[in-house]
Amino acid sequence: MTHRALLALGSNLGDRRALLQGAVDALPDVVAVSDVYETAPVGGPDQGPYLNGVVCLETDLGARALLEVAQQCEAAAERVRVERWGPRTLDVDVLWVDGQKVDEPDLVVPHPRMFERAFVLVPLRDVAPDLVPDSLLDSLAESLIGGPDAVTSLGALLTVAASGSEAG
């Protein structure tokens, strides 16, 4: 039985857009992808801006299997983990899997900070508006526009590969 899963993508090293598209292409069962947003880094050392997005999957994979796929995508992008919240070629986080809760040392679903981060909430709203109520974005509105959490839409830069039918 399939269920909805949501994964966040981020990149601030190399060809950021190409790295995000590579992840979208490598992920199984993608049915929708958000616009791409440019954001300032949150925490960590001084570093360049990120491109962020969220993908929606209709999959039979559970949270643990999705984490393994996410880590494979990061490895393919030659991600090196040197410093917490440091710059990276690709970051893929499991945000949400319908009907599943996981609380393990290396995996927490729903993601524990997904509702605190504008760089997740704004693209999440593109593909899963039911999870992001207006009141939540309203509470972040001031910081989203010109503030420290500013999120700038770059539009629909990523595509979902066609699987026998038109994809967008």
Beta partners for residue 104, in sequence order: 107
Q: Which of 4, 88, 117, 125 is the catalytic position? A: 88
State yes or no: is 46 an active-site residue: no
To which H or E segment does residue 53 belong? strand 50-59
Answer yes or no: is pLDDT of 163 > 70: no
Q: What is the pLDDT of residues 63-84, one digit of tens each?
A: 999 999 999 999 888 777 667 6
pLDDT digits (tens, 9 = 90+) for 100-144: 999 999 999 999 888 888 889 889 999 999 998 877 766 665 555
In the annotation, is 103 catalytic? no
93 is catalytic: yes
Sequence spans of domains, the chain: 3-154
Over pLDDT 70: what percentage of the chain? 83
Q: Report the topology of domain 3-154.
A: Alpha-Beta Plaits (3.30.70)
Whose tokens are 């809760």? That residue is: 101
